Structure 1
Amino acid sequence: MDLTGKVALITGGSSGIGAATAKLFASHGANVAIIGRHEARLLAVGMACEAAKGNQMLVLKFDLTVEGNCEEAIRQTVQTFKKIDILVNCAGKAGMSSLFDNSTEIFDELMALNLRVPYKMTQLCAPHLKDTKGNIVNVFGAPLRVRPGFLPFAMIRDALERFTKAGAVELAAEGIRMNAVRLGITRTNFLTNLNVDDEHMDIAYDRLADLVPNNVFGT
């Protein structure tokens, strides 16, 4: 795979799948812009990407749920690289919530980051991707057994699948491809964000492994 001269914009690029994607693209010659909320992690990923091929990196510390930040991230990317060839919508988080909660705070928080941000980023990047006949990749988890406490998260995964299928039809007329990567269980900082401490991390992953046919998850 040769991505020399391509410009990739990756949300959620400070850790996990987003960071791994950034490093992979950089190793194949792409200029990469990564967006995240954790500056130290972003800088570490940026240094690793630059070391891969010596290409220019752009580190963008933004909370994309804040109004105007999606626009500013794209503006800075185009200002730096003059174009966008690839958008990877990878930013996301999990949270526990159910119909028995007393508010919709967690529901709203998850919807804002996991669903509204990829929609908004795609909408804003579309004119640039039309010029380059570019690509969009939406990254999200594969469907698991339905469990109490994860209702909004389950809804979002299915909504992202429908967004990808419907969006691909709209964008195809402009020469833009949209696809999704639905990941199996992968060991990232996912459980840390759910406040699972180190002492119980292996136990939690062992239980998650029971949901996988061969009891093995990705890294």
Structure 2
Amino acid sequence: MELTGKTAIITGASAGIGQSIAEHLAEEGANVVLAARSAEKLEAISESINTREGGKAIAVQTDVTDKTAVDRLFKKATEEFGDIDIYVNNAGLVLSSAITDREVGAWDKMIDVNIKGVLYGIDSVLPQMLDRSQGHIVNIDSVSGHEVNKSSAVYAATKYAVRAISESLEKELARTGVKVSNISPGRVDTERVLRKLGDDPKRKPLKPADVARAVIYAVTQPDYVNVNEIIVRPV
């Protein structure tokens, strides 16, 4: 599948994995709509993409925990580029997750961004995709959605939820023409992750581009191929 002229929305696109996904999609010819809370960072990335060959970019400041804001993101994207072909739910938070730490405020924030934000994004774009019998929803999950350690209970719970949403939605959308892919990275070399988890001298972390290439693989398959699950880990 060629991405030239296609339109993709990417949440959490102001840095790290989201920025890299947006850049890779644009390099493949897609028009990209960058969404995140930091308007200044989004504008800088958008300007950078627009100076290169490939797809065009616009920036839309968005808080994915606000349903009205997510609906406005979809509206602005369609006004600028038309139908949405790809929606990448990438926005996410990694905060204090051990239950014994009792950081209830952190838990609420992770639930709002990591679960509600994903559902709000799907809800905004799905009716149009179903009407057209085509489209691709990509949920950026985590290996924490497959395994849990003693300090990751709440974060892992949110990522298990994303995985469950992806798996159920894929079944709901079978034979509709709308695809769903769940992509679960391991430790990635981003400021947010390394600040929270620290560096591991025994293992070289993934680069954001490694995750972006997994997204490109999933969304460029033939119409009859649906890549449901990709796990990307450091060696």
Do they superpose with TM above 0.5? yes
Deviation at 1:103, TM superposition (A): 5.9
Match 1:218 to one of 200, 206, 224: 206
- Written as runs of structure 1 = structure 2, the 5 A alignment for 1:54-203 is 55-102=55-102, 104-130=104-130, 131=132, 133-143=134-144, 146-191=148-193, 194=196
Q: Deviations over 1:8-40 (max 9, x none)?
A: 011111111110000000011101001011122
Q: Does 1:205 align with 2:199?
A: yes
Gaps of 5+ in 2: 208-235
> Percent sequence identity over matched residues?
25
Aligned length: 205
Q: Is the 8 A contact 2:133 2:176 kept in 1?
A: no
Q: Which contiguous aligned blocks of 4+ residues in structure 1 show a shift greater than 6 angstroms?
A: none
Deviation at 1:138, TM superposition (A): 0.6
Q: Is the 8 A contact 1:140 1:181 kept in 2?
A: yes
Which protein has the larger Cα radius of gyration, Structure 1 or Structure 2?
A: 1
Instruction: Give the superposed CA RMSD.
Output: 2.0
Q: Is the 8 A contact 1:93 1:193 kept in 2?
A: no
Q: Deviations over 1:95-137 (max 9, x none)?
A: 0033335563221110110011111111220112221601111
Partner of 1:50: 50
Gaps of 5+ in 1: 197-203
In the alignment, the residues of structure 1 paired with residue 67 and residue 87 of structure 2 have an alpha-carbon distance, to the nearest angstrom, of 19
Q: Is the 8 A contact 1:184 1:218 kept in 2?
A: yes
Q: Deviations over 1:177-215 (max 9, x none)?
A: 001111121101223664x8xxxxxxx212xx55xxxx2
